[in-house]
Structure 1
Amino acid sequence: MNPGQDLGTNVTPTSKSRSSSPVQIDLKRLAALAYHRLENSEDLVRKFHRFTGTAYDSDYLRNLYDWLFVPITLWPIDIEGLSRAELHRAESGKRLDKDMILLIDLLPPLPSDRIQRAVTQHEHAVQHGTYEPLIRARHKYNHIESQLACDRTFQAHWTLIKAHFDVTKFADHKGIIRRRLVAERSMREHWPVRWTKTVDRFHAVFDVFCQRWHLYGMRGDRPLLLKLTANLTPFGTMIFIPAYWSFDPKRDLNWRAITALHKARGVPKQGAKLGTNQLAARLEAIHATKLSKEADARKLKGEARSSWMLKELNRDLRTDERQLRRILAKSRDGN
């Protein structure tokens, strides 16, 4: 990238987008993503397009910028926040520090368009709480939800909490009060008890209340019951089974859809037999490469060369020469 060149878009304009500016193309890409990405990052995209800087730093900022259009589920960290901080630093005339350069260099390769489309579709479903394509036992959720709405003990507990706290102070813009999250392996950043501030007391009480009644939160006086879900994370695919759920692995989950979602990352086939076969093919390719060099030394050519190599590889002499070339190609490709 040359000095004075804006970071722009890495999308090649089509005939339909020739009348659109690069910034409009990128904003359209943001608008297609879930979780209000256009609303949150429009100003950042415009700043990137206005930015001009040294070629050295622009290349690193460009890498961050490209990740801004990846579904947020696949982000290893807050790419938007990181981009804002580093763009501000660059606009102030400061160079990126060595630790930041290391971080950007460690970012995985950008996911393919196919992967991003699949994850974006999943994100839109999750954003609206729609897990039906992956889950088959909605009736179990409906049954417990209807029981909970009529449970007098539950209602009494919620009334007590409202008597102790002004719960409206803890609701988000949707009017939802959410319990604090529990991470993988039940890790909790909020584990140390804090009891000095009202907000700490409320969240401690609310977390206990939510565990008692299997909730992820409350919307007004309506309990938000936990669902059987399958979600992508930056590190894998997580299936969550609520504690109240009588789980039937064969009937409750659409394993075909979940497997397709997981494989959308481009996961290759694996297995003990497959691994053994791949290793054998790799060793054969290495052996074939050595034989090819020896054939050169022997000045073997044409059919005589192929026949000699096939014999040394314990292959049928009627094997097509193209198969021999494919074996040698595996050595060059490292596969």
Structure 2
Amino acid sequence: MYQSLRIFLKPTTSLARKQFFQNNSILNKIRQQTQSNQNVQLLKSSMNPWERMNQIMNQQIKQLQELQNSPLTNSSTWKSYNQYYNRSNWDKLKKPLLFTVAFCVGTTFATPYLFDYTPMSIFKQYPQSIVWTIIGINALVFFSWRVPQLQKFTMQYGILFKDNIQSPWTLLGSAFSHQSFAHFAINMLCFQSFAVTLVAVLGVSNFTILYLNSAVISSFASIAIPMLLGSSLSVASLGASGAIFSVFGCFSYLFPASPVGLFFIPVPGGAWVLFLGTVIWNAAGTVLRWGTFDYAAHLGGSLVGIAYGYYFNKKRKEQIKRRRLILDF
């Protein structure tokens, strides 16, 4: 999941924080230079929102670098502001958490019914068609970014502004959204490589539950993990990588010795070795904040994939034991 930085200080909302800024001329000046609400309005009104967002991001990154070199960042005043800011972030985590739990529970129980008792049952006859359906949805959202009349929709539901979540459904929508063709093509190629085999093993219902739940959980992880590490939430992310890492993780757990390649170069040890390498890479990137990838989302999706692979494998072994007992009798 590619992550585009959009760095700025969060504007104050509570009376205490407003008074805090009013009593400090330096912080008040910083607030005036970083009006996030104005930036969001510019993004929504622009005919090419992605280019406009990049322009805003570059300006704000420069401002942040100036702040980091300032003695203000080590002052007690700055620490007091951060306490207010972090408290506000924790409050914002409640709604995404409730949505994530409700969505995963609802998906887990509703999906089997949809594939058994609705016209969607046709997917059970052609399991691989669900893979191409997911790719088709991602393609549809990709092309929607290029339609001016739909940019309001894609900006609201297709990109996850972590410090300003307009709708909790963005946690799902951003996982089906790609703005650049390279991002879309690479993600879908990786997804198809593992999903075709995995859906044949898990079945359509289990595969769909895994994909949808991991998409939302990875988006939630991209908010929660940086918050736990004290990183800035003034960023935005989109892409299917979190869910794809979940598919890769589940595949690697079930078929650890399966031969895989990295850019067509065979990886010694098979799928499990490559997957563990990506987990280490994503964990390090989350802590060290490398580049512009949403490592937290990757890591969250990977953990979901391992957990689901473990659950499915355990359930399969129990079914085998039952069959043996029946045969013995």
Measured against the shorter chain, the TM-score band is under 0.3
TM-score with structure 2 setting the length = 0.22
The structure with more helix, counted as a fraction of residues: 2
Looking at CA atoms only, which structure, 1 or 2, has the larger radius of gyration? 1
TM-score with structure 1 setting the length = 0.22
